[in-house]
Amino acid sequence: MDDAQLLRYSRHILLNELGVEGQEALLASHALVIGAGGLGSPVALYLGSAGVGHITLVDHDTVDQTNLQRQIAHNLARVGHPKAESAREAIAAINPDVRVTTVTRRADAELLDELVSQADVVLDCTDNFATRHAINRACVAHRKPLVSGAAIRMDGQLSVFDARTPGSPCYACVFPEEAGVEEALCATMGVFAPLVGVVGTMQASEALKVLTGLGSRITGQLLMIDGRDLAFTPIALRQNPQCTVCGQPH
């Protein structure tokens, strides 16, 4: 690190848990963030401000005025712009030294296979089960840690799935693709604005701990977040031996 970096990241360096070595690990790391909306906004801003050296942002959507209630990486001046590009500008305004790659297309299986293989950690900030399952399959295939978040109405969820750990469950163990879970959308159900900030910030926190070797305490758990009472309930998860993604036959 040069003198400017030592000054910028001095509050990280002062932490016994991080120090110079931890910050250097962040500077050398690559995070893949899929979704630059409510969850992806705080994720992108905190990863960028913390000094993750390379961030790839994937989002096919454009900024809409209805997004601004909760998607804090965007502003009125960038309505109509691609969300990934808007988030890149927001990161650059905080930390121009971070390399940000934007992908303004839908995250399909082919694209995810390419991008996940290049990343050190993957953050799922999407809002639909089809993409979530595609991300999970790519992370299991390439043995990459996945930090998954979700928020709707006044409720949130957070988990870390790490295919590098033997016996660790994957996203499909908890939410089987064949279960046909009904989709809940912000456009019809609503979402409490600060809640996506809480979940997204926690996603960024868990990703930083994974990247610096501290590890995540919620790997193999599903953390349920009640935004009404500010209650956090961890649920222990187990790998499903019959899982079609990570089960033993596969």
d(CA 145, CA 128): 20
What is the per-residue pLDDT for 177? Answer: 85
Determine the topology of domain 3-236 in CATH: Rossmann fold (3.40.50)
Write down the pLDDT at residue 178: 79
- DSSP class of residue 65? G
In the three-class reduction of DSSP (H, G, I as helix; E, B as strand; rest coil), residue 89 is classed as helix
Q: For the chain, what percentages of helix, strand and coil (3-state, to nearest 5) are there?
A: 40, 20, 40
Task: With a cut of 70, list the residues of the chain below it in pLDDT.
Answer: 179-187, 248-250
Q: What is the pLDDT of residue 183?
A: 65
Domain boundaries, the chain: 3-236
pLDDT value of residue 182: 62
Model pLDDT, residue 123: 98
Whole-structure pTM value: 0.95
Q: What is the pLDDT of residue 250?
A: 43
